[in-house]
Copies of this chain bind each other. A is one copy, B any other.
Amino acid sequence: MSKAASAPPKTGRRPASWTQDPEGVRRNILTVAKEEFVENGLSGARVDEIAARTATSKRMIYYYFGDKEGLYRAVLEEMYERIRGFERSLDLASLPPVEAMTLLAGFTFDYHAENPDFVRLVMVENIHHARHLATSDRIATLNLSAIDMIREAYDRGVAAGLFRPGIEALDIHLTISALAFYNVSNRASIRQVFGHDMGAPEALVRRRAAAIDTVLRMLRA
């Protein structure tokens, strides 16, 4: 087993002799870095802090990722690729239109609620005008399929007379995303200003139902 993987998380000191484990070290760094960037943003994150919480040293961060932004970009890329994977696992085409939209809206809501890290990183990236998304080749070729899946289900719904025509697939996506995203991204400020916890279980189920309902109402003929 690798040093990075086998070392006691914090307590153990590096042994005098070690085992090489490029992939393990890489993963270890990415995991810790993600936490740090999620918690503190790009400018707020500290490379030293990341290194300290790693089983390896700062040296390796620069060895594998070049610089702080390279590390950040790697974290970002991995996250988007993960989303892409989940997206593909959805099989809307085999469901009736209404059920397909219900599933998609519900899934999107849940994914955001269960992955606040994702939401926070996207916020951070937007604060930086998404310039790291822009310069990432891996993400440029990602080709998120959400829109196509939506269009297919929507078109079927229109053909069946269930949905009203004239809506852009992108608009459907934006509505679904907005409701799911906002619920996580603005949790802290809503809590302070309105004293309401959007993260509480009951609030979550209520809001989830509302989101799905809102989307269906928006679509219905």
Q: Which residues of A contact B (CB under 8 A)?
A: 40-44, 80, 120, 122-131, 133-134, 139, 142, 144, 147, 168, 170-171, 174-175, 177-179, 181-183, 185-194, 196, 198, 206-207, 210, 213-214, 217-218
Q: Which of B40, B123, B207 contacts A123 (CB 8 A)?
A: B123
Most-contacted residue by chain B among A142, A182, A198 (CB, 10 A): A182
Contacts A185-B185, A189-B133, A214-B214 given: A144-B194 contact, CB under 8 Å? yes
Question: In the complex, A127→B121 CA distance in Å?
Answer: 9
How many copies the complex holds: the figure is: 2
Q: Taking CB as reference atom, which chain B residue is nearest A128? A: B188
Most-contacted residue by chain B among A44, A185, A187 (CB, 10 A): A185
CB-based contact A144/B193 at 8 Å? yes
Chain B's nearest CB lies how many Å from the CB of A148? Answer: 11
Q: Which of B44, B80, B123 contacts A185 (CB 8 A)?
A: B123
Inter-chain contacts of A177 with B (CB < 8 A): 182, 186
CB-based contact A213/B218 at 8 Å? yes
- Which 3 A-B pairs have CB atoms at the shortest separation, nearest pair first? A178-B182, A130-B188, A43-B44
Inter-chain contacts of A213 with B (CB < 8 A): 218
